[in-house]
């Protein structure tokens, strides 16, 4: 696949003879995380809410009776919400897809969708081998496999069992022809499918940390698996198109899409709230900066989680967020300088990007206790320059937050404390300047962006990829809140000849911007040193995978509440194509 292709909706495709057999791809939503191997089989299904792995490996092998010859692997394709392997033999083609739902009725689940095509009648054998990774009690119920940890006695008219954990797996439309449950931690299910024309065969896995009923309800809500798979695809499409940034650099555009997907896959739901996958408080600022351009609900829920923990811990945020609401946050010791700084950085950045918002009032009590906890550290830190600098910078952000909140007394006091901590840090030879801007001109090296022809494109440092996805919009496009509106400096921090930012969440709606190299077109009130043309709507045309001919249709702004007047403007951009560069 051409690494400089500008078609963002085109999946990465790798021929089977080129695919690294050790290549993996991560899929996740806000509930489950798992890895997909080169055969499009599931590895290490993890549910952060329960802090447990629910399956070690689930393999699906497809063969053609009577010889049971495996279908030949032909190619693998990578999409935002699923991985697909294309297999075949003479007269038969099978698309094997492994997907993670998003915004479904039950996201604590995994979907398999097989699309089988055959000339004439063909019989296929589907062999599902499951390794749960631990001993479980297994039984078949109405053609579905139920596997549980420590099940209780049967209850109710359906004889269901409460348990420490439950898994329900199977085909919503058919029973397996053979089942082997000889090992407590393993299962083997065999299905036979008669194919004539096109036949779709779904498989569904749902999980629960309580009784069997919850997992069954989840399974039943997904029993129309074809529709569930379609809805997941639509949801992932909305994710990548909301706040999408196009630039003149097609390789950067692809990396930005991977970066924002990486951010989404690194936010999961705990019992205490949404949190980074690693539960580290210091991971929050980068995620919030990225999600602020794509999903304000997620970014504000991350901030709200830190606010609640800050209030519970008397302003001493732990290094790792607790899993359960009744679990006391572990005291961070002197690492509180880094954790409290991370919270103040995330909140300050969010307000700076989206303007003074009621969210600040909700957080202000937590801000106060975090700042007071930092001020009390002066004697303990003594000559610890890096931590003194952390506190100085955090207090500078807190001063600005107090000013936005209209708290002039604390603004003055915290500014004085910030100056004193800065003096102490400089005395040790440590600078108190804020973190330098992201190196957008050297983003490939900064993120470890890998465009191998043998594996899914990815960042060697996922955190840097998330940082890139946020920096490209807020820093690269020069967006900042100024006074009562958004200010835009379209050329100050990038070398792009043009860029377009579409449907970015903003205020109570969305904002779209196009910079054509001379004029800034905007669907909302913005300020810029360049000419600004107000618009009623901006949309991308010809951006599809099969009919790509990108142009931006810019509709004039309506006047006096009337319908737009005049003909739309069409801006057809040109993409850079560096010469003399190889795929990495």
pLDDT (tens digit, 9 = 90+) per residue, 434-446?
778 999 999 999 9
- Is 582's pLDDT higher than 50? no
Residue 274 pLDDT grade (very low, low, confident, very high; cuts 50, 70, 90)? very high
Site of tokens 């009744």: 326
Round the average pLDDT of the chain to a whole number and report it.
Answer: 93
**pLDDT tier at 157 (50, 70, 90 boundaries)?**
low
Residue 584 has pLDDT above 70, yes or no: no
Q: Using CA atoms, how far apart are residues 383 and 332, in angstroms rounded to an integer?
A: 19
The DSSP annotation for 207-226 comes to EESS-HHHHHHHHHHT-SHH
What are the sequence ranges of the domains in the chain?
31-238, 272-428
255, 465 in Cβ contact below 8 A?
A: yes
Tell me the per-residue pLDDT of 447-493, one tens digit each, with 9 for 90 and over.
Answer: 999 999 999 999 999 999 999 999 999 999 999 988 778 999 999 88
Between 431 and 137, the more confident residue is 137
CATH class of 272-428: mainly alpha
Q: Which residues contact 443 (CB under 8 A, 6 or more apart)?
A: 252, 255, 449, 468, 472
CATH number of 31-238: 2.70.98.10
pLDDT band at 162 (very low <50, low <70, confident <90, very high): confident
**Which tens digits make up the pLDDT trace of 213-224?**
899 999 999 999
Cα 391 to Cα 377: distance, rounded to the nearest angstrom: 9
Name the band, by pLDDT with cuts 50, 70 and 90, for residue 184: confident
Does residue 358 carry a pLDDT above 90?
Answer: no
Share of the chain above pLDDT 90, in %: 86
The pLDDT, as a whole number, for residue 348 is 96
> Residue 197 — pLDDT band, cuts 50, 70, 90?
very high
31-238 with 272-428: one CATH topology?
Answer: no
Question: What pLDDT shows up at residue 563?
Answer: 58
Residue 565: the pLDDT is 58
pLDDT-based confidence at residue 579 (cuts at 50, 70, 90): low
Spatial CA neighbour of 396 closest among 366, 378, 421, 377? 421
Task: Please determine, for residue 583, whether its predicted confidence score (pLDDT) is greater than 50.
Answer: no
Question: 306-314: long-range contacts at Cβ-Cβ below 8 A with a sequence spacing of 24 or more?
Answer: 306/281, 306/343, 306/346, 306/347, 306/366, 307/343, 307/362, 307/363, 307/366, 308/272, 308/273, 308/366, 309/272, 310/340, 310/343, 310/366, 310/369, 310/370, 311/365, 311/366, 311/369, 314/369, 314/373
For 49-81, how does the pLDDT look when each residue is reduced to its tens digit (9 = 90+)? 999 999 999 999 999 998 888 999 999 999 999
């Amino acid at each position: 696949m051409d690494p400089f292709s500008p078609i963002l909706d085109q999946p990465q495709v790798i021929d089977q003879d080129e695919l690294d057999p050790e290549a993996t791809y991560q899929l996740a939503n806000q509930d489950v995380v798992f890895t997909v191997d080169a055969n499009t089989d599931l590895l290490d299904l993890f549910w952060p809410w329960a802090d447990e792995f629910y399956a070690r490996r689930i393999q699906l092998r497809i063969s053609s009776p009577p010889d049971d010859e495996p279908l030949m692997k032909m190619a693998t394709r990578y999409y935002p919400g699923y991985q697909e392997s294309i297999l075949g033999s003479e007269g038969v083609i099978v698309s094997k897809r492994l997907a993670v739902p998003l915004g479904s009725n039950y996201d604590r689940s995994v979907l398999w969708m097989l699309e089988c095509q055959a000339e004439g009648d063909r019989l296929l054998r589907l062999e599902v081998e499951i390794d749960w990774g631990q001993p479980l009690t297994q039984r078949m119920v109405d053609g579905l496999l139920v596997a549980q940890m420590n099940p209780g006695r049967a209850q109710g008219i359906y004889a269901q069992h409460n348990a420490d954990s439950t898994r329900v797996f199977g085909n919503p439309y058919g029973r397996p022809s053979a089942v082997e449950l000889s090992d407590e931690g393993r299962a083997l299910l065999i299905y036979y499918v008669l194919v004539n024309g096109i036949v779709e065969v779904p498989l569904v896995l749902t999980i629960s940390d309580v009784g069997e009923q919850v997992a069954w309800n989840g399974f039943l809500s997904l029993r129309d698996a074809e529709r569930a798979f379609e809805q997941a695809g639509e949801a992932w499409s909305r994710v990548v198109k909301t706040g999408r940034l196009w630039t003149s650099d097609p390789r950067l555009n692809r990396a930005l899409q991977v970066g924002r997907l990486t951010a989404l896959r690194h936010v999961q739901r705990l019992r205490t709230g949404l949190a980074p996958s690693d539960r580290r408080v210091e991971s929050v600022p980068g995620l919030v900066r990225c999600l602020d351009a794509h999903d304000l609900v997620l970014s504000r829920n991350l901030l709200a989680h830190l606010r609640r923990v800050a209030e519970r811990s008397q302003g001493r945020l732990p290094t790792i967020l607790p899993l359960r609401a009744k679990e006391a946050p572990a005291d961070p010791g002197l690492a509180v300088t880094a954790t409290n700084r991370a919270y103040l950085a995330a909140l300050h950045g969010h307000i700076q990007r989206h303007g003074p918002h009621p969210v600040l009032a909700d957080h202000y009590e937590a801000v106060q206790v975090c700042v007071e906890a930092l001020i009390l550290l002066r004697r303990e830190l003594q000559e610890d320059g890096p931590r003194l600098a952390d506190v100085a910078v955090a207090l500078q952000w807190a001063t600005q937050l107090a000013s936005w909140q209209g708290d002039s007394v604390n603004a003055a006091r915290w500014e004085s404390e910030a100056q004193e901590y800065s003096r102490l840090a400089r005395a040790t030879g440590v600078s108190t300047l804020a973190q330098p801007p992201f190196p957008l001109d050297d983003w490939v090296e900064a993120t470890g962006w890998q465009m191998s022809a043998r594996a899914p494109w990815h960042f060697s440092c996922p955190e840097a990829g998330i940082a890139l996805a946020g920096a490209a919009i807020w820093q690269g496009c020069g967006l900042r809140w100024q006074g009562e509106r958004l200010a835009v400096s379209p050329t100050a921090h990038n070398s792009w000849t043009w860029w377009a930012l579409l449907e970015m969440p903003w205020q109570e709606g969305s904002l779209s911007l196009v910079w054509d190299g001379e004029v800034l077109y905007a669907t909302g009130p913005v300020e810029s040193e360049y000419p600004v043309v107000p618009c009623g709507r901006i949309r991308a045309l010809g951006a599809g995978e099969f009919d790509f001919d990108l142009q931006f249709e810019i509709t004039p702004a309506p006047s006096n509440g009337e319908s737009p007047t005049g003909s739309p403007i069409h801006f057809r951009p040109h993409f850079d194509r560096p010469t003399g560069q190889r795929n990495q």
